[in-house]
Amino acid sequence: MNFFGFHYTQGENCFFLNSNLNKKIFHKNRLYSTEKKIFFYLKNSRTKNTSLGPKLISNTEKTQENTTSENFRSWLLSNNVFIYNKSTWGRPPHPCLVSNETTDEGEPSGRGLLAYKSIQQNEKIIEIPENLVIKNDFLWKSINEDVELNEYDSLAIFLIQQRAAGEKSPWKAYLDVLPKEDDYGLVFRWKVSDVFFLKGSKIIKAAIFLKEKLFNQYYRIENQVFKKNPLMFPPSVFNIQSWEWALSVLFSRAIFLQTIQKLTLVPYADFLNHNPFSTSYIDAKEIPFSDTYEVAMYSDKPYGKFDQVFTTYGPKTNLELLVLYGFVSERNPFDSVEVRVSISSQDPLYGIKKNFISDCGKIDQMTFPVFYYQYPKELYEFLRFCIVNSEDLKENNLTDFNFEKEDNLLLERTVRKLMMTTCEKNLKEYTKITEEEKIFSLLDTKISISKNQKIAIRQRKCERKILQRLVLNLQKSVI
């Protein structure tokens, strides 16, 4: 799994930053222990209404929002983006309209695109000209050739520059329609009371890993670039807060265009929300008889009038969706829970097995994804490797033993019992939060919970559901 250009794998040593890491969570720029007066949430939740329903906004805010949307629409039109809802000479009407409030699975999904009319399968949904695609080709260039900047770095610096430029920025209309600072629901920006509801989930570790990498990357660039050029990069503008904002924008909105192999921001196209069942990808497409391209997407199915039109962000798990985008999907067919298995140090063959697995380029602790409907055969092969003994091997070496075969009934029964024990151990990590199930089922105002807390409860529910189903299947197989 890749976060912000950094590879993250739970089983790698670099992931476990220290033995108590899983007991800590981020709040602003500090780490807090989950053991510090966690009860304050339940005390305050009964007196402070956070958000079970849509966010209420004043008439002034509504007017400002409409003005911002209209400015963005005018900006798109002035940059040759065809969004007319009426046909013109040789062109059908644009099939979509922007809605500031959409829902998916009964939950608010923010701004999105709705079908303005009936849409046919394979109909073009969007077409954005190349000049509106933000990429690092024409962005800020390092004045020091020795400084290495990846695409995220360059785009983040550009976003910070353009936001600071205000009215002078040609991208102001686009930046104005982006979510406000507090509306980015990425886990590493959650409050401590929200993160507590993820207790037991590996998402906490992933969020900590991502935030530490984000901070390390900022301080590296600050020392190599910002501090050496304070006039070009004033500290009041280029600071850790603006860097966190810029990376939040990129994590949640950047689109990797496969055709040109570049990470980009594509105004208007990034209004499309994700659906795990969609097969419509946003990508660059060459314009015939031209040396330029456009960014386009075609519908993967018919849409009725006012249906929300979706794209896909790829086959991502809920962990990736929540950490990088700030939401989860209970119907996600790609969701999985990572299960970690290791060779017992008490195994009489531990030394032999460790050397063998090392020669294979692996380590003695491995992590496997478990899905709701399936689990990888590699998991069972590794479990067989972990528990095989001298009697099973007989006179054979480990290199001669076929770990793919299931003909040893006693070994298979032991494997399934071990797998069931591992899942049950993982389930115990999801300690019962007071009134959790009651909170999740209530839609009235008896107990108020924040949007992030509700997402956290849904995520824990999805993870437990996967593990519980696997345990049930294993129980049937060992009887």
| Bridge partners, residue 340, by sequence | 367
Alpha-carbon distances of 78 from 45, 59, 72, 74, 82, rounded to whole Å = 47, 28, 10, 6, 10
Q: For the chain, give the number of residues.
A: 479
pLDDT band for position 448 (50/70/90)? confident
Task: Look at 112-121, 260-269, 282-291, 409-418 and tell me which has the smallest mean pLDDT.
Answer: 409-418
142 burial level (CB within 10 Å; 0-12, 13-18, 19+): middle
DSSP state of 244: H
Alpha-carbon distances of 20 from 34, 191, 205, rounded to whole Å = 11, 20, 11
pLDDT of 230 strictly over 90: yes
Task: Look at 61-70, 142-151, 310-319, 416-425 and tell me which has the smallest mean pLDDT.
Answer: 142-151
pLDDT of 49 strictly over 60: no
CB 246 within 8 Å of CB 214? no
CA dist., res. 421 & res. 225, Å (int): 51
Q: Strands, DSSP E only, in 16-77?
A: 24-27, 30-33
Please, what's the b/e burial string for 46-73 (b: 16 or more CB within 10 A of its CB; e: otherwise)?
eeeeeebeeeeeeeeeeeeeeeebeebb
Model pTM? 0.81
Chain-centroid distance of CA 48 in Å reads 29
CA dist., res. 366 & res. 357, Å (int): 11
Mean pLDDT of 75-100: 88
**pLDDT tens, 335-353?**
999 988 899 889 998 998 9
Other CB atoms within 10 Å distance of the CB of residue 10? 19
**Whole-number pLDDT of residue 434:** 45
**Whole-number pLDDT of residue 269:** 96
- Within 99-230, residue ranges assigned H as helices are 151-165, 172-177, 192-195, 203-221
CB 184 within 8 Å of CB 326? yes
Mean pLDDT of 452-460: 91
pLDDT of 437 strictly over 60: no
Mean pLDDT of 18-43: 31
Beta-carbon contacts of 230 under 8 Å, excluding residues fewer than 6 positions away, are none
Farthest CA pair distance, the chain? 81
Beta-carbon contacts of 174 under 8 Å, excluding residues fewer than 6 positions away, are 72, 75, 267
* Backbone dihedral angles phi then psi of residue 26, each to the nearest 5 degrees: -85, 140
Match 């709705």 to its residue by tokens. Answer: 114
pLDDT of 158 strictly over 60: yes
